[in-house]
A and B are shown apart, each in its own frame.
Chain A
Amino acid sequence: MSWFTDLANPTRFLNLTARLLPWLWGLSLLVLVVGFYMAFFEAPEDYQQGQTIRIMFIHVPFAWLAMAAYGLMALSSIGTLVWKHPLADVSAKALAPLGAAFALICLLTGSFWGKPMWGTWWVWDARLTSMLVLFLMYLGLIALWSAVEDPIRAGKAAAVLTLVGSINLPIIKYSVDWWNTLHQPASVFRFDGPTIHVSMLIPLLLTAIGMTILFLALHMFAMRTEILRRRVRTLTLMEASQAGAQ
């Protein structure tokens, strides 16, 4: 656990991420180039979906990442409320815009796939609606952080709201099993193994890994910005109090 407590020091975190980030940008670019090359030039078209299978190589990873970002926010919220880790609410705040962006991409690309395949841009089925709720929860959390000026108070309030909202994650995951939905059931993470042919599964996993590395890099970068923002706030308050004392 020493690395966990070491990272509680924001300066140490800034130094570590400054060294890590160039590697993460490069690695994500490399994996994404290989993944998209395979997705477009090696994966065959689907016997039912035809060429629209190419949309799945972005839609599915962003659906996973939108949920993973919220899961990470929930873990960060526990860090804020239980351990009072100094970087926990920094992490949660930095995740919200990324999660919102990923959820929006998931919804839009799903819509672009749905129109030619289902004949409609949108249906109010359980999977699509619970994903929309996730997107709205991200927006609500961003609004909450913007509304409360003190970052510590905002972090605690957002942590409670995030943990309450995490009930939506199993609902999204199992919505296709619990209810009769137009959305197809899970085809990768299943107890009996993936049902996708390996020629499509490998590029899908590669694009997912590349986007996950990109997500981690963006998250670290956003955390660095948030640490600087808090330093600016502290120094501005110090300057104002010094001016008031004179």
Chain B
Amino acid sequence: MEHFGFIFASYLVTLVIIGAISIWLVLDYRAQKHALAALEARGVRRRSTKSNQATVKMESGS
């Protein structure tokens, strides 16, 4: 294939850049999930989460 090197390089840089940004997004998402879980494990919760839990407790009569 004529100019194979240029075509291959184009597809390679595209794969590398899309792959890199996808991996970065996944790692960032996981880091935020872990940080949120750690905070909630220490008893720090948003008001909406607390009120939802209170509502569930009231509805179940506990």
Binding site for B on A (CB under 8 A): 11, 50-52, 54-55, 58-59, 62, 97-98, 101, 104-105, 108-109, 112-113, 115-116, 214, 218, 221-222, 224-225, 228-229, 231-232, 234-236, 238-239, 242
Contacts and interface: CB of A to CB of B under 8 A. Distances in A.
Contacts of A242: 44
B2 interface: yes
Given A58-B14, A232-B32, 11 more contacts: A11-B48, A52-B7, A59-B10, A101-B18, A112-B7, A113-B10, A232-B36, A232-B39, A235-B39, A235-B46, A239-B39
Interface of B: 1-4, 6-7, 9-11, 13-14, 17-18, 21-22, 24-25, 28-29, 32-33, 35-36, 39-40, 42, 44-46, 48
Nearest to A9: B48
Contact of A231 (B1, B9, B29, B46): B46
Interface of A is mostly: helix
Contacts of B36: 228, 231-232, 235
Contacts of B3: 50-52, 116
Contacts, number: 88
Contact of B10 (A55, A225, A238): A55
A30 to B, nearest CB: 17
Given A50-B2, A52-B6, A98-B21, A228 B13 contact: no
Contact of A234 (B13, B14, B29, B46): B46
A113 B10 CA distance: 8
Nearest to A100: B21
Contacts of B33: 228
